[in-house]
Amino acid sequence: MIDDILKYIKEKGGITKAFLDYDGTLVNLTSDPKLAVADKETIDLVRSISSRIPTYIITGRALDSILPLIGPGFMVIALHGAQFLDREGKVRTIEGFDEYVRRSRDIASRYKYLEKMFPGLKVLDKGGGVQFHYYNVHSTRVRELEEVVKSISEECFELYAGKYIFELRIKGVNKGTAIRREMNNDFILFAGDDETDEEAFRVLRDQVTVKIGDGITDAKFRLKTPDELKNLLSLILEKHLSKGD
């Protein structure tokens, strides 16, 4: 599959921007989001690519959650597209973002009791969204948790389900819209692993879209693991983005 991706990139004349999801894409999923620290080799590889073409880390995490894991100097699209960090370190947000931050804090506090009902659950205020992280919840309780979470209705937030998470996110904010906002006449690479990435795959039909892992997908290509993506990125850097080209 890597050869097929490289052939497609060559046929199209090379990529001009890259958008890389983080959890499950650049790093493996973990039992605790704070433990998902990218290794130095991965960070250095993404830095090298970003020195050749504009490269974005695009994530459902908030900026204050992702930056300690990747370090400074990256362009970041966070909270699915509610926060943007540019190359100069300037942050911009969607309209009304401060109110979403206030409301997410209140919502997370209101549903914190679910952690006692479902041992292993983490109810996380993301500073603009609320995540129900159930990696450590016993599998026999997940369906019950899903029914409880699906009954939650909060104005201006929408519920989606991902890998080991349910999340209330800002309505109308998604990675597909965020990426389109940053594209001009670019030919891009976008890699992701989860349902929120599928929203982007569906609107980036002619681009290099790569699904990491199993499951039905609208991506053009598929790789099995973050390590396979790392191999792809190394080859793209070598064959298509070397400074001698």
Asked if 174 and 137 count as a contact pair (C-beta separation under 8 A), the reply is: no
Could you confirm whether domain 97-170 is CATH 3.40.50.2300? Answer: no
Tell me how far apart the alpha carbons of residues 21 and 58 are, in angstroms, rounded to a whole number. Answer: 5
At 75 the three-state DSSP class reads strand
Fold observed for domain 2-94+173-240: Rossmann fold (3.40.50)
The pTM of the full predicted model, rounded to 2 decimals, is 0.93
Neighbouring residues of 114: CB distance < 8 A, sequence distance ≥ 6: 121, 123, 132, 145, 148
The 10s digit of each residue's pLDDT in 134-154 is: 999 999 999 999 999 999 999
Which pLDDT value is given to residue 31? 87
Strands 83-85 and 75-78, by their bridges, are antiparallel
Distance CA 168, CA 149 (A): 9
CA 49/CA 26 separation, integer angstroms: 14
Each residue of 208-230: pLDDT tens digit? 999 999 999 999 999 999 999 99
